[in-house]
Structure 1
Amino acid sequence: MAAAAASLRNHEPITEPPPPLLRRLSFGLQTWAFKGLVNCALPLMRWRDPSKFQQFAPTYTKRYDIRPSLECRVFIPSTYESGQKLPLYINIHGGGFTIGEPQLDDPLCHFLANKFRYVVVSLQYRLAPAWPFPYAVDDCTELSLAVLKDTELPVDYDRVAMGGQSAGGNLILAAVQDPRLLPQIKALVPIYPVVDFSKRYAGDFRDRPADSEGQGAKKDILRPISDLFRWAYMPYYQDRTDSRLSVIYADRASFPSSIYFIAAQYDKLCCEAFQMAKKLVGDDSLKEEENWDKNGIRWERLSDAMHGFIEQDWKRGSDGEVNPWSERIEGVLSRMAAWLEAVFQKEREPVL
């Protein structure tokens, strides 16, 4: 934790006292009601249309002694041949640290494994508010280390990346700061990540306007839930500049040399993700609306997209499709895979 601790020395702690009792009760009731609704809806979705989910099922599931209550979902390419060593992609799901499950990322993990021939391991972590910060970070750190020690996986451990969406993007950026994990990870792919709980770098909500025909207007989907997730995940009096919580406060040495930020135009989190990407590069002239690649940091903002665009696009896919995404989303994932391959290749080049 030395790197993470060092990154805080130049920042005054930012803390918040507990909100008034009635507001706490309101947050608690809303959060647990929302969790209950989601926990009922997910199995119902799988029951109503099992084939749509079964086609993306993992090759197998596994539990590690370090966290025996948490299930890891392992995806091996269908074209895998015995003896091959493939790159590893460790995936961490989103859900505001409060809801969700690894199964929601099965279509993504299945696609990455079979389209680009990765071994993909999708991690589970304990959820807030029962398990607030830093439990999820610790779970993801320890499970990632366990995966990297797993000799049964057909993995080339010189080609390892981590990726995650939303809260998952935060957790990969937090977990990798552990000095045991950092040297083993070559690249990170945070997708519309949460990076700032201090509110110093946060932007406003971004509603998508209607098109020229008056169609397509949508509220930023984080509007009704961001305060609930924030309340659920952060303990009272927690320092908001802790770099494992607000990862934007971590210094450059706390991360791998290669990071690919993928963001959405109409997403409150876009602003803070861009501020972090720009901060890591050290160049204030960079523009959010432009895609760029500089000093190992790559930035891509998908225009006219909203938070969660990967999951939303999959929901529009038709039943029975091996690839459930639109051409646009497949393009994003293809660019990500090509970038990872270039990173792995560069890491293998001898130093002259």
Structure 2
Amino acid sequence: MSGSNPFDPKLYTADAISAETKAINDAIIKAMDGAPDWWDIGAQEVRDARARGEGPFPLAPKSPRARTIEIDGPASNKGGKIALRVIAPDSPKGVYLHIHGGGWTLGAADQQDPLLERIADKVGLACVSVEYRLAPEHPYPAGPDDCEAAAVWLAKNVKKEFGTDKLTIGGESAGGHLSAVTILRMRDRHGYTGFKGANLVFGAFDMSMTPSQRAFGNERLILRTLDIQKFGDAFMPPHVDRRDPDVSPLYADLKGLCPALFTVGTRDALLDDSLFMYTRWIAAGNEAELGIYPGGAHGFVAFPGALAAAANAQADAFLKRVVG
């Protein structure tokens, strides 16, 4: 946890998991028992159910402060627009480009308003969340292309729109993955290395599957091995090399990147992704922090409790520091 040595073996034992976290995990497993899989009933039906607050995640109320900006999409969007959901304080100190999770298949920019409000109020950042196209209707490279287009637009317009040129980026799960991909595309395709920091929360960084992804098994604690496989198949067409750095940033040249915070729980199938990406980020000469949270399931920051509060506080402190 925050302030602990992330490589202390004790953090990874059952004894390190609090009674509260165990109870949260048990409740998640119970809530997901017998729930239909999205690939059986269709992604849109699950998206609609999530929007109604059905499923394992708490319903996130919509912020009355939110507004939408529409920008031009990339060439792969054939003239379509991209919606950016904005929640901002007065006189923001910087901007947080947020990319939501959901396995590249589920989720929406308006389903984490409380998270964005927290960052706006506690860190002083204008939060801009990308409504990127989702698989399987829009497989790779649609989602990454939309996130790149949003980053390009912000890099050009951030000062005019928000009165600051300090740009940060981050997201959860698939959003952590897409954030890393966007940072790399901005460096390699646009020569932009201006991100002040990246908040990468239980991201997927190896689409060929890390050992923890393969070994997790079938326990319905948000994300099983089978879920990872199905999400990957929906997102990536068969011809895509799953170790191409544009889909698996773990294999990219990571030199010259911004400071990053990697956050993950020990009961997450994506544990290795953060452990491996953190060490590669450091080995490339970049600054990084690693937050390990005992017993945290995939998505744990969305569930009320001390573990989520500690992780969110570490993220807020990191973002405050990198924007000065």
In structure 1, C-alpha distance between the alignment counterparts of 2:145 and 2:238, rounded to whole Å: 19
- Out of 211, 234, 237, which is 1:235 matched to? 237
Matched residue SS, 1:225: helix
- What is residue 82 of structure 2 aligned with on the other side? 70
Matched residue SS, 2:68: strand
**For residues 145 and 228 of structure 1, do their structure 2 counterparts lie closer, same or farther at Cα, with a shift above 3 Å needed?**
same
In structure 1, C-alpha distance between the alignment counterparts of 2:65 and 2:151, rounded to whole Å: 18
Larger radius of gyration: 1
> Are 1:205 and 1:267, in contact at CA under 8 Å, matched by a contact in 2?
no
- Out of 97, 101, 111, which is 1:94 matched to? 101
> Do structure 1's residue 276 and structure 2's residue 277 form an aligned pair?
yes
- What is residue 66 of structure 2 aligned with on the other side? 59
Query: 5+ unaligned residues in a row in structure 2: which ranges?
Result: 1-36, 75-79
**For residues 263 and 43 of structure 1, do their structure 2 counterparts lie closer, same or farther at Cα, with a shift above 3 Å needed?**
closer
> Are 2:116 and 2:127, in contact at CA under 8 Å, matched by a contact in 1?
yes
Count of aligned pairs: 274
> Do structure 1's residue 261 and structure 2's residue 262 form an aligned pair?
yes
In structure 1, C-alpha distance between the alignment counterparts of 2:167 and 2:191, rounded to whole Å: 11
Measured against aligned partners, the alpha-carbon deviations of 1:300-319 in whole angstroms (never above 9, x if no partner) come to: 111111001122x1xxxxxx
- What is residue 297 of structure 1 aligned with on the other side? 288
- What is residue 140 of structure 2 aligned with on the other side? 133
- Cα shift at 1:152: 4.4
- Cα shift at 1:199: 3.0
After superposition, residues 160-239 of structure 1 pair within 5 angstroms as 160-178=167-185, 179=187, 180=190, 182-199=192-209, 203-206=213-216, 219-223=220-224, 224-239=226-241
- Cα shift at 1:198: 1.9
**For residues 134 and 32 of structure 1, do their structure 2 counterparts lie closer, same or farther at Cα, with a shift above 3 Å needed?**
farther
- Which segment is superposed worse, 67-76 or 89-98? 67-76
Measured against aligned partners, the alpha-carbon deviations of 1:125-160 in whole angstroms (never above 9, x if no partner) come to: 111112111111111011111123235422421x22
Which structure carries more helix by proportion? 2
Matched residue SS, 2:95: strand
**For residues 299 and 42 of structure 1, do their structure 2 counterparts lie closer, same or farther at Cα, with a shift above 3 Å needed?**
same
- Cα shift at 1:275: 1.2
- Cα shift at 1:333: 1.9
Alignment RMSD: 2.6
In structure 1, C-alpha distance between the alignment counterparts of 2:183 and 2:283, rounded to whole Å: 21
Output the amino acid matched with 1:74: V
**For residues 342 and 44 of structure 1, do their structure 2 counterparts lie closer, same or farther at Cα, with a shift above 3 Å needed?**
closer
> Do structure 1's residue 156 and structure 2's residue 164 form an aligned pair?
yes
> Are 2:257 and 2:286, in contact at CA under 8 Å, matched by a contact in 1?
no
Identity in percent: 25
TM-score normalized by structure 2? 0.76
In structure 1, C-alpha distance between the alignment counterparts of 2:322 and 2:283, rounded to whole Å: 21
Matched residue SS, 1:186: strand
Query: 5+ unaligned residues in a row in structure 1: which ranges?
Result: 1-28, 209-217, 284-293, 314-324, 346-352
Name segments (4+ residues, structure 1) moved above 6 Å.
Answer: none
- Out of 299, 305, 317, which is 1:338 matched to? 317
